[in-house]
């Protein structure tokens, strides 16, 4: 069996769970089949999220085998996205301004991918990346030491023996992905210097709900963190949050700094975010989320149906992970969106979008075919995408699906 059901809170162990939303059966978002290849091997898994009143955590209802979700050929590369490059550069400067980092200190990045984040630390301190995918070989080629394994208790022991403790440990867009979170945090605590800092970046539950970003719900994301749930989790492992800020990556994330207790002062802005969650997120917003999502499904499908009645062509723009959730939840296939276009060099070109018969082609097709509409899946950065596509010569209209569907002339 490729997955297991979760009948208790992942961080508190409480069996009191409330279902918030079901998106039906969704495939792994990076399960790719080549165009023309029979895709009968597609796996689909239930996609339900639950709320734990004890820990304030919102979580997925199953855990899919990590080898299914994160195969060696995992296609995601963080360096190709400008907003992530800029974010990691800003993060590194923030680290150097907040903490005393010396040449001999170690910065360890869990889920380091192609070394995008660590490249900002490379000339200023010791660095080490950990990532299980082959994409880590790109980091090694760039001179970034990288261990091509999953982060485990055994690996943390080996790292400490060989490299010593870490002054900074980062986990950006992976901290919600890892199973057995108690073992992970115990290993992080073990690796941290006494004055070390653990920095995580994750999709922020508050923003997810406010912006109706249900397309970011998929099996890689086991947990959907608020600060209150992170506060519960870190306290359990003798860590405390010292700083937190909202950032723009992935449509709205939260960057959180945590250290061993009573080492650093706690910044006031963190407390303001906690107050906001207590007054808003856990009163009405969380419980109204299901109806917002269902209304969105109706409204998007209605808009697309009206467009297709008039025999207009719709092409998709970019194939991020969120596109898989959105199209499978909406049950949209190639009779509605004929194809999806990625920039040259993308590893997703000449594959089908997971769970669908929609092929992915080179972006040049947009300018030669000039379809009537371009459906933007990375809608959270739609302004940047629209400007780029206009400059390259696209003349049609744009469809923005979320938070509310709209057409841009």
* Domain's final residue, options 258, 286, 309: 309
pLDDT of residue 311: 93
Q: Which domain holds residue 371?
A: 310-408
pLDDT of residue 276: 87
* Domain's final residue, options 275, 309, 343: 309
| Separation CA 129–CA 115 (nearest Å) | 7
* Residues of the chain where predicted confidence (pLDDT) is lower than 70: 1, 38-40, 71-81
What string of H, E and C letters represents the secondary structure of the chain?
Answer: CCEEECCCCCCCCCCCCEEEEEEEEECCCCCCEECCCCCCCCCCEEEEEEECCCCCCEEECEEECHHHHCCCCCCCCHHHCHHHHHHHHHHHHHHHHHCCCCCCCEEEEECCCCCCCHHHCCCCCEEEEECCCCCHHHHHHCCCCEECCCCCHHHHHHHHHHHCCEEEEEEECCCCCCCCHHHHHHHHHHHEEEEEEEEEEEEEHHHHHHCCCHHHCCCCCCEEECHHHHHHHHHHCCEEEEEEEEECHHHCEEEEEEEECCCCCCCHHHHHHHHHHHHHHHHHHHHHHHHHHHHHHHHHHHHHHHHHHCCCCEEEECCCHHHHHHHHHHCCCCCCCCEEEECCCCCCCCEECCCCCCEEEECHHHHHHCCCEEEECCHHHHHHHHHHHHHHCCCCEEEECCCCCEEEC
146 and 231 both lie in a single domain:
yes
Query: Can you give the CATH number for the domain in which 314 is found?
Result: 3.40.50.720
The residue among 168, 132, 128, 165 whose CA lies nearest residue 148 is 132
The residue among 359, 319, 355, 352 whose CA lies nearest residue 338 is 359
116 and 184 both lie in a single domain:
yes
Query: Can you give the CATH number for the domain in which 44 is found?
Result: 3.40.50.150
| Separation CA 192–CA 187 (nearest Å) | 9
Sign of torsion, CA 213 55 256 128?
negative
323 and 305 both lie in a single domain:
no
331 and 199 both lie in a single domain:
no
Which structure tokens are listed for 259? 């250290």
| Separation CA 297–CA 286 (nearest Å) | 18
305 and 318 both lie in a single domain:
no
pLDDT of residue 37: 79
145 and 171 both lie in a single domain:
yes
Which structure tokens are listed for 64? 């899919």
176 and 216 both lie in a single domain:
yes
Which residues lie closer than 8 Å to 63 by C-beta, 6 or more apart?
A: 3, 4, 6, 179, 222
331 and 223 both lie in a single domain:
no
Q: Are 379 and 408 in contact (CB under 8 A)?
A: no
pLDDT of residue 73: 59
| Separation CA 286–CA 21 (nearest Å) | 10
321 and 271 both lie in a single domain:
no
pLDDT of residue 220: 92
233 and 331 both lie in a single domain:
no
Please, which residues bridge with residue 241 across strands? 258
Q: What number of CA atoms fall less than 13 Å from residue 400's CA on the CB side?
A: 18
| Separation CA 366–CA 389 (nearest Å) | 9
The residue among 356, 292, 380 whose CA lies nearest residue 25 is 356
Which structure tokens are listed for 75? 């296609």
| Separation CA 152–CA 166 (nearest Å) | 16
* Domain's final residue, options 280, 309, 338: 309
215 and 304 both lie in a single domain:
yes
279 and 364 both lie in a single domain:
no
pLDDT of residue 210: 92
pLDDT in tens, 371-386: 999 999 999 999 999 9
Q: For the chain, what is the domain count?
A: 2
């Amino acid at each position: 069996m490729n997955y297991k059901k979760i009948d208790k809170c992942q961080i508190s162990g409480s069996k009191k769970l409330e279902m918030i939303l079901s998106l039906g059966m969704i495939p792994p978002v990076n399960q790719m089949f080549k165009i023309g290849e029979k895709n009968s091997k597609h796996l689909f898994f239930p996609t339900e999220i639950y709320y734990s009143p004890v820990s304030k955590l919102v979580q997925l209802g199953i855990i899919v085998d990590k080898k299914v979700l994160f195969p060696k050929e995992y296609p995601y590369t963080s360096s190709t996205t400008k907003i992530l490059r800029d974010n990691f550069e800003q993060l590194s400067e923030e680290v150097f301004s907040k903490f005393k980092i010396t040449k001999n200190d170690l910065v360890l990045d869990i889920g380091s991918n192609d070394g995008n984040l660590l490249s900002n630390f490379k000339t200023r301190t010791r660095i080490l990346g950990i990532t299980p995918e082959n994409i880590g070989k790109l980091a090694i080629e760039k001179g970034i030491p990288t261990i091509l394994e999953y982060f485990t208790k055994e690996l943390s022991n080996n790292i400490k023996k060989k490299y010593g403790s870490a002054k900074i440990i980062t986990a950006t867009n992976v901290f919600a992905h890892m199973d057995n979170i108690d073992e992970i945090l115990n290993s992080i605590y073990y690796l941290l210097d006494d004055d070390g800092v653990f920095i995580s970046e994750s999709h922020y539950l508050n923003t997810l709900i406010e912006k109706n970003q249900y397309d970011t719900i998929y099996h890689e994301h086991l947990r959907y963190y608020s600060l209150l749930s992170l506060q519960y989790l870190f306290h359990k492992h003798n860590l405390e949050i010292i700083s937190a800020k909202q950032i723009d990556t992935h449509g709205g994330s939260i960057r959180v700094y945590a250290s061993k207790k009573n080492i650093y002062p706690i910044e006031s802005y963190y407390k303001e975010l906690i107050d906001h969650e207590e007054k808003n997120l856990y009163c009405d917003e969380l419980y109204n989320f299901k109806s917002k999502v269902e209304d969105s499904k109706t409204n998007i499908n209605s808009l697309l149906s009206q467009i297709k009645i008039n025999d207009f062509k719709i092409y998709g723009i970019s194939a991020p992970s969120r596109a898989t959730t959105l199209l499978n939840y909406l049950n949209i296939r190639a009779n509605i969106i004929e194809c999806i276009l990625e920039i040259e060099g993308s590893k997703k070109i000449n594959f089908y979008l997971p769970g669908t018969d929609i092929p992915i082609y080179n972006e040049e097709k947009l300018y030669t075919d000039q379809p009537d509409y371009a459906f933007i899946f990375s809608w959270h950065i739609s302004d940047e995408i629209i400007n780029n596509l206009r400059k390259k010569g696209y003349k049609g209209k744009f469809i923005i699906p979320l938070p509310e569907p709209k057409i841009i002339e």
